[in-house]
Every structure is written in structure tokens, then in C-alpha cells.
Structure 1
Amino acid sequence: MQFSVRNGISALAVLAISLIIAGCASPGNVAPQAHSNDPMSLDAGAAIRAADLDAQWPAVDWWRTYQDPQLNSWVEAALAGNPTLAVAQARVRNAQALAAVNAAALAPQVNGSLSIQGQHWPDNAYYGPGPLADQTTWNNTGVLSLSYHLDLWGRDKNAAEAALDLAHASAADARAAQLEIEANVVRTYIEMSLNYELLDIEKSTLAQQQQVADLANRRLKGGLGTQLEVSQAETPLPESERRIDALEESIALGRNQLAALAGKGPGAGDTITRPQLALNGPAGLPSTLPAELIGHRPDIVAARWTVAAQARGIDVAHADFYPNINLLASVGGFAAMGPFFQFLHAQNGQWTAGPAASLPILDGGRLRAQLGAASAGYDIAAGQYNQAIVDALKEISDQVVRIRSLETQAKDAQRSVDIATKNYRLSREGYRRGLTDYVNVLIAQTQQLRAQEGVARVQAERLNARATLVAALGGGLVEPADGPSEAETWPESERRKAAKRAGTSTGPSANTSVGAAANATATAPH
């Protein structure tokens, strides 16, 4: 009879547990709506397809293609001393530490506690404790506890992986910050080089203007010219001197900017001499387009890691719907109103061991709302990743178009200089011989100045376009393998749904694109 009662109690317990689990909070149809685009689904455009297929990816030290040792030293100084880069690196260390905190939840936890309290009892006939009157006793407790979360549903594992994914994203962001600093140093240096070139042109133009003014004065003294011609010849001189002052100011400001990028005071820029840049470095594209193209960019890699972290966040939110089971154990000693070491005696020892379970039943929709927030977070990350891909392809295509256009512009600008220089020499010689008036000289001189400035600006724009293209390609800092695999960028629950719709039972195979699974999930009703 006793055996039957026990069996009945066990059956009722199993039934009760089953009913409780069945009545747990349900995730319903909450699921992410967005998906990460497959880069191969986007048209890279004619400009990228027609790019140099034999070119290689930029090297890590890509700025050395400009062949200027001074530039090399200032880029290296910026990478070593820039405060913004130091902050980005500190964020990486912070993210790594947070990932370690989350990973600790996967390991058994052992904690100890010790409480030692002495108490002196009063000697009072009305209040005193009788035999303990005017005595001192100890109330001591010592406990060693062990806890281990079974993590049957992968909550702790996914939380740790999400934190690690964010640490990877922070590292990619730090590499993006490094690339931006490198590009800013190069751009500032190129602008300084342009200002030096424009300064040379302005000084040369000023010298020409002074020569023409001297010629006008000699013609006036010789009775061949007029005071109007002298006034016309001297009018451009103050403006040319002002332009020279403005360019010297821009050069000084460029030195300050380079010093600031290197994390130094303005005085460090005083040692910067005139840049010596080469225009003949490579500026082509690799042969594998466009998937490999965008995979080298740090911001793309960071965006993919963020998507992976949000996918793990959805798995964490799903796990919260299931029972939480821990294994608990403790051993310790307890003693009250005894000697100091009384709690260490065997008869005062105590131990506990066994599982502890908790599960949600009625939570007012909190867990479902958390899952909804996690799904929305994934949609945001996926949308940002998709936008980053679009922006990357646009930036690369823009720079390819620009580089090719500037190659043609450079030839046209040089032809313009040649023609304007010839025209200026002819007009000046005609004015010297009295065959033409000064207006023709002034017009020819202005045309020559503008043509020379055009050549200098086109050359600087070519250098800038090359630097921007290298930055758009990722600067040689990141390999595509540094990012997460496609399987890591989609929640487990959605992968299973997509696999089920595809007629498989084990999930997507190695050749199945997660993007395709995502498309199937996003287009199917939930």
C-alpha cells in the first residue's frame, strides 16, 4: 500500500511539473523581420567591373606608396600618439573584459562567507540571562557554497558569445579609427603639398607682375607708355601679395593639424619641411568583386560582428522562456552562544546539495517584450550592415570614377598650361615692342595663373582620390576571415525555421547561404 501511495505521489508530481511547463510564458510569433543582404546580390557597377583586374589589395602601410619619408614618420607618429586612437583601443580592452565577465557564468561558482560576532551578556537580575550573566559568547558562521548553472537552453553560452562578438566589433571599430587617422594625416599632408605648389605659382606670378610693372615704368619714362598702363600693371601686386600671405597661413595651419593628429603640441609641427610626394603609385582594384571587395573594410567587419551579437541576443531572449536549473551545494559550521571555535566542531557542521529550478509562468508579457526588443535590435543591426555595404560600394565606385576622370583632367590641365604660357610670352613680347597694349598681357597672365593652379589642384586631387580609395578598400587592415561566418549572423531559432521550410532537419548545410535562409524567413509568414 505504501508503495502504491509513493507511485501515486510521483505520478502527480510529474503531472504537475508537466502542467506548469505547459503553462509557461510563450514567445508567440515574435521574430526578426530584416536580414543581411548578400553582397553578390548588389550590382557593383561598370566602374568597378572595368577596374584594373591585376591590381592587389593595399598594403597595411599603404601611405608608403607616396614615397615621402617625412609622411611615413608622421603617420607612424599619429598611430603611436593620437588620443582618439588610444580611446578606441581602450574601448576594445573594455569590451574584452566584459566578454570575460559573461564567459565566467559558464564556469562553476564557489563562494565563501565567514561571520564572527562576539557578544557580552549583561549582569542584571531583572534582564540578565541567568547562567550567561556577565559572560562573553561567540555567534560564528562559516559557509562554503558551490553553484553551477546547467545552461540547458544555451542562455549563458549565447550571452558570452554575444559579448565576445561585441568585443570583435570594437576591435574592428578600432581598426576603422586607425584607418581614418592614417587617411587624415595623408590628406592633411597632401593639402600642405598643394599649398606649397600654389605658393610657388603665386610667387612666380608676382615676379612676372613686378617685371611687367617695371617695363611699364620704363616705357612711361621713354615716352612710349602711359600712366594708365603703369597703374594697370601695379594693380594686381597687392592682391598677389595677399594670396601669398594666405597660402603661408594655410601651410602653418597644416603643420598644426599634423601635430594635433600625432597627439603633440603645435611646436612639433615647426620641423615639417616641404612635402615630396610621388604620383606614380598603384591605384587599382583586386580581381574578386564585389564580395571580397567589401569584406576588407573594418566598418563592414564591425557591422557583421554586431549582427552576430544581436543574433545571440535573440537566442538569449528565447532561452528565458524555459526553466532555469542550477545545481547548488554548501557546507559550513554554525554555532551560537559558545566558545570562539565552536562552529568548527563536527557536530555543528551542516551541508546542503541538490538542484534548484525556476521557470516563468505568468510574467505580464515581459519576456515576450524582451524578445521583441532583441528582434528589433537585430533588425537595426542588419539594416545598418546592409547600408554599410551600399555605402562601401558607392564610395569605391566614386573613387574609381574620380581617379579615371582626374587622369584625363591632368592631361587637359597641362595642355592648358602650355597654351597659356605660350600666349603670355607672346603678349608680353608684343607689349615690350609696343605692338599691343597691357590689357592683353594682363589677360594672358591671368590665364596662365589659373592654368598653373588647375594643374596643381588636379595633381593634389589625384593624390587625395588615391588615399580615399585605399580607405574605401579597407586600407589593408582587415581580412574577410576576421569577420563572423554567415551561420553566426542569424538566430538559431530562425535558422531552424528556414531549414524546416527548405525540407531539411539539421539546419543549413555548409553551402547554404544564411542570406538565403534569411530571405526565406523574412518572406514567409510568422
Structure 2
Amino acid sequence: MEKILRLPIGTLRLAPVFLALSIIIAGCASTGGIAPQRQPLAPAALDAGDALRAAQRSARWPDADWWRAYGDAQLDSLVAAAIAGNPTLAAVGARVRQAQSLAGVAAAELAPHLTGNLSVTREHWPDNPMYYGPGELANQNTWNNTGTLGFSYRLDLWGGDEHAHEQALDIAHQRVADERAAQLELEVNLVRAYIDFSKQYALRDIATDTLARQRDLVDLAQRRLAGGLGTQLELSQAEAPLPEYERQIEALDEAIALARNQLAALTGKGPGAGAELTRPALAMSAPVALPSALPAELIGHRPDVVAARWAVAGAARGIDVAHAALYPNINLMASLGGFAAGGPLFQFLHAANGGWTAGPALSLPIFEGGALRSRLGAAAAGYDEAVEHYNGAVVAALKQIADQIVQLDSLAVQQRDAERSASAAQRSYQLAQIGFKRGLNDYVNVIVGETQWLGSQQRVAQIRAARLAAYASLMGALGGGLTTPADSPEAAALKPAQRGAPGLSAAQRGASVAARQASGAPDALR
């Protein structure tokens, strides 16, 4: 339970006694050994691996508008439209504003509070001797007036309110980083969907070209049969693939239509908006290179890692709040007002009807059944959970970057091999076709050559699209090419009154916030 002592103004001389008592009680407060058990990983201590070390060829991060490296104006417009109109991203932005407002609520607890109350009522007094007896108010109409001003101020001796404010600010910063992470995920997903949109067009071109070539072969087989040089079997073999090639074209038309719908949905528009999209014109001119100083730089550039670090900082502030609740606190309270029943309007303003109170109020936990220590234990466990989430985010970030580097290097080799294979298959098909026209070989060789060439062309198109998509994934793994944010770790270490809450400007939404110190425990645990 919690005991509250209110001291009248005449006994203010006893305030030092109660203050001394609170200090004695505070000295007896014990956490029972409750403390966090986990520590954040130091990213620089992790082995980045050979793939990352080999890829560190540039000290410059990609641009924040990294998708412009594809050189497609339509893609640029789609990304801008998605950032402005995607409902999921807008919902994340609303959570940012909500967290900022809650930080303002926590900040209000640090300030003095002044409240006022005014009541003016008209009352008719009954003429009932049984309850009121004969009197001058019997069967009369009077004004009842009440007016009070109340003042209260929490001294916050142990910093519980200040830590609660800092925790609310950390949560607001975390929400800003979450918003940037959601925007980056949207950018990557849209770019990958656009690359798939482009790939379907490329595959359709291959299928259309193959169908046209097959029809030419059918015409040739018909002419050979009419001239007595060919057989009905050859004509039948030439006609057999036509339905399958036509089916492939129809399936690719379906894939293109579905890709249009997906792109329209990502921009927050209806399917009709996708019908306006033209064929993509993607080209990759940007070199695949990583900045130096990996992995430590991830803390300042990966928005999900930044958000996880802010969560650790907020959890640390939660421990401070729970710890402060173990100690007594003093509130300064005062009231001034008056009451009058009967008489003219605003009779309470007369000095004779006024009154006031003033004095400190001491609150201290005495018997609370271990609830406060249990809350401290829950806060410590929450901190450990946030730390492990942060550690997992760092490990996952390194894995994603290494995966994309390995994939990009492998796809570059695969593309060269696939292009050589396509060239050889094309040459083989052309030779088989020439031989068939001259009667030097049968149609089976043409079928085999055509099938190999078709497959090799499709593999080239798929590998090229995979390389473009892997580059987008790499940009996402690097944090979207963000530069050093203005909200630096040094600024975040300032007190709430100095650093303020994260803003909502477009510039701040377009850049990640920095975490607290990249290694070690938060301030409260050092």
C-alpha cells in the first residue's frame, strides 16, 4: 500500500523531518539483485566474412534515391507515388504522431499543474419543517457559488517522471526509425515488382519470337511436303509446339496484367492505374560496391537496427522508472477558493467566504506485496528482450548484406555463362535449320536446337532480372543509402529538454535517426 501525508502550512517546519525520513526509507529500498542479464553486441566485433571484406571497394554509401540507378523515369514516378499514397506507410506515419503526442503527455508530468473550478447554480429551498425547519431560506431561490484554484508540483526526487519522459522520447525516435524501415521495405518491394514486370515483357518477347520462328518452320515443312521432299511426320512435328508456345504467351500476358495490379496497389491506387503503365526501360549503370568500415556503420544506416537500438534505450529508461517507484516522493500542493450558499451571484468572491491550503504531501511505499520489485523485474526482462532483438537485428543485417554480395557475384558469373550458352544454342539451332532446309538432316535436330535455344534465352532473361532484383535487395540491406542522420548519438544523449522530440518534416521522414551509443549499456546501466 502507499501512504500519503499532507502537511498544513503551519507545520512546514516539519518538512525536513519528513525529508530525512524519506531518505532513510530510500536507503532501505533494495532491488533484491534484480538487474539486466544481457548486453548489446558490438557490431565491429563480429566477423564480417570474406564476402563483405572482398566487396569493400568504395567508402561512399549509395544515394537515398538509389532506385534512380536503374535509369527508368516511370519507376521514379511509381516510387514517389508509393511513398505519398501507400496506406501501410501512412499508418506507420500515424503511429509516429501518436508516439510524439504521448511523449508530450510524459513531458507534462515534469511541469507544475494549475487547475481551476467554477460552479454557479441556482437553487430553490423547500419549505419543509421536517427536514429544514423554519428559516429565512425556506421557499426561497438563491445562488450557490464555488470557485477554487489548485496547484500541484511533483518534486520527482528520484527522476522517475524524467525517465518516463525520456522513455517516451525513445519510443518516438523508434517509431520514426520504424517509419523509415517501412518506407525502405516499400521501396525495395516496389522496385522488385517493377523488375518482375520488366522480366515478363522480356520473356514474352522470347516466346513471341519463338512462335514466329516455329510458324516459319511449319510453312517450310508444308512446302517440302507439297514438293515431295518432306513427310507428314515432319509437318506434324513442326505443328506440335505451336499450342504450347501460344499458351506461354497467354500466361505471360496474365503475369503482366497481375504485375500491373500489384504496382498499382503498392502506390495506393486501384487496378485501373496499372493500365497506364508502359513497358519498363531498366538499365543498370551503378557499380556494386560497399562502403568501408562495415559492420560498425550499420548502426547509423540500417533503420531496423536503429529502431532496435532505440527500443533498447527505451527499455533501459523503463528500468529507471520502475526503480524510482521504490522510493518516496514529495508533491507540493496548494489550493485557493471560496464557497457561498445563498445571497447574490458570485458571493464566494467575498473575503469572508474564502479559504486556502498549502503544504507538501509525502508518498512512500510501505506494504505493497512485492509489486514494485516485480515491476522492476519485468522491466529488466523487457530490457534483455530488447537487447536480444537488437543483437538479432545486427546479425541479420550482416547476413543479408553478405547474402546479396554472394548472390550478385554469383549472378554476374552465371549471366556470362548463360549468355555464352545462349550464343552456342543459337548457332546450333541455325545450323540445324539450314541443314533441314537443304535436306541434310531430319526435323528432330531442329526441334532439339530450338528447345535448347529457347531455354537458354529464358535463363538469360531470368538471370538479368535476378541481378537487378539483387541490387535492390542490397540497397535495402544497406539501409537505403542513408547518410549520417542529423539526430546523432551525441544529440540523443542530451536531456529531453535539450534534444526534443523527433520531428515530422519530410526531411526527417526521409532519413533515419541515429541510435544511442553503438556499444555498451544505456546510461542508466553503466
Normalising by structure 1, we get a TM-score of 0.88
Code of the residue aligned with 2:148 in structure 1: it is V
Aligned pairs for 1:46-445 within 5 A: 46-54=50-58, 56-127=60-131, 128-445=133-450
Code of the residue aligned with 1:36 in structure 2: it is P
Distance 1:132 1:106, change over 3 A: same
Cα shift readout 1:319-340 (whole Å, capped 9, x = no counterpart): 0011111111111112234433
Measure, in 1, the Cα distance between the counterparts of 2:142 and 2:243: 100
Cα shift readout 1:438-488 (whole Å, capped 9, x = no counterpart): 111100000000111111111101100000000000102463664656996
Which one of the candidate residues 8, 14, 36 is aligned to 2:40?
Answer: 36
- 8 Å CA contact retained: 2:40, 2:520: no
Alignment-derived partner of residue 510 in structure 2:
none
Measure, in 1, the Cα distance between the counterparts of 2:259 and 2:18: 78
Measure, in 2, the Cα distance between the counterparts of 1:124 and 1:357: 46
Alignment-derived partner of residue 504 in structure 1:
none
User: Does the residue aligned with 2:381 lie in a helix, a strand or coil?
Assistant: helix
User: Does the residue aligned with 1:30 lie in a helix, a strand or coil?
Assistant: coil
Cα shift readout 1:126-145 (whole Å, capped 9, x = no counterpart): 54432222222333221001
Alignment-derived partner of residue 475 in structure 1:
480
Code of the residue aligned with 2:119 in structure 1: it is S
- 8 Å CA contact retained: 1:298, 1:478: no
- 8 Å CA contact retained: 1:427, 1:444: yes
User: Does the residue aligned with 1:302 lie in a helix, a strand or coil?
Assistant: helix
Code of the residue aligned with 1:131 in structure 2: it is E
Code of the residue aligned with 2:287 in structure 1: it is P
Alignment-derived partner of residue 494 in structure 1:
none
Cα shift readout 1:1-58 (whole Å, capped 9, x = no counterpart): xxxxxxxx97996799369716965321111111111101111111011114225211
Distance 1:457 1:27, change over 3 A: same
Cα shift readout 1:69-99 (whole Å, capped 9, x = no counterpart): 1111111111111111111111111111111
Measure, in 1, the Cα distance between the counterparts of 2:128 and 2:198: 96
Q: After TM superposition, give the deviation of residue 283 of structure 1 in Å.
A: 2.1
Code of the residue aligned with 2:335 in structure 1: it is S
Measure, in 2, the Cα distance between the counterparts of 1:364 and 1:43: 48
User: Does the residue aligned with 2:391 lie in a helix, a strand or coil?
Assistant: helix
Distance 1:134 1:255, change over 3 A: same
Which one is further off, 462-471 or 33-42?
33-42
User: Does the residue aligned with 1:130 lie in a helix, a strand or coil?
Assistant: coil
User: Does the residue aligned with 2:455 lie in a helix, a strand or coil?
Assistant: helix
Identity of aligned residues (%): 62
- 8 Å CA contact retained: 1:62, 1:476: yes
Normalising by structure 2, we get a TM-score of 0.88
- 8 Å CA contact retained: 1:486, 1:515: no
Distance 1:478 1:160, change over 3 A: farther
For the pair 1:449 / 2:458, whether they are aligned, the reply is no
Alignment-derived partner of residue 465 in structure 2:
460
Distance 1:286 1:126, change over 3 A: closer
Measure, in 1, the Cα distance between the counterparts of 2:518 and 2:64: 31
Distance 1:14 1:299, change over 3 A: closer
Q: After TM superposition, give the deviation of residue 276 of structure 1 in Å.
A: 0.5
Distance 1:338 1:11, change over 3 A: closer
Aligned residues: 490
Measure, in 1, the Cα distance between the counterparts of 2:464 and 2:357: 80
- 8 Å CA contact retained: 1:286, 1:293: no
Measure, in 2, the Cα distance between the counterparts of 1:341 and 1:123: 24
Measure, in 2, the Cα distance between the counterparts of 1:483 and 1:196: 45
Code of the residue aligned with 2:249 in structure 1: it is I
Measure, in 1, the Cα distance between the counterparts of 2:411 and 2:299: 24
Code of the residue aligned with 2:106 in structure 1: it is N
Code of the residue aligned with 1:456 in structure 2: it is A
Q: After TM superposition, give the deviation of residue 342 of structure 1 in Å.
A: 1.9
Measure, in 1, the Cα distance between the counterparts of 2:339 and 2:20: 36
